[in-house]
Amino acid sequence: MQELFAALDFRARAAGERKAFDDGTSSLSYAALAGRVAATAEEIRSRPAIPKVVGLLGGHCVDSVVALLAAWHAGKTVVFLPSFFSAPQLRFVIEDAGVAHILATPDMTATAAFLALPFTTVGPRQRRFAPPAGSGGGQIIYTSGSTGRPKGVVLASRQMMWSARALAGAIAASADDSYLSVLPLTLLLETICAVMIPILAG
Predicted confidence (pLDDT) per residue in 13-27, tens digit = 998 899 999 999 999
Asked if the model's pLDDT at residue 74 lies above 90, the reply is yes
Q: 24-33, 129-138, 173-182: which has the minimum mean pLDDT?
A: 129-138
Query: What average pLDDT is seen over the chain?
Result: 91
DSSP the chain: -HHHHHHHHHHHHHSTTSEEEE-SS-EEEHHHHHHHHHHHHHHHHT-TTS-SEEEEE--SSHHHHHHHHHHHHTTPEEEE--TTS-HHHHHHHHHHHT---EEE-GGGHHHHHHTTS-EEE-----------SS---EEEEE---TTSS--EEEEEHHHHHHHHHHHHHHTT--TT------S-TTSHHHHIIIIIHHHHH-
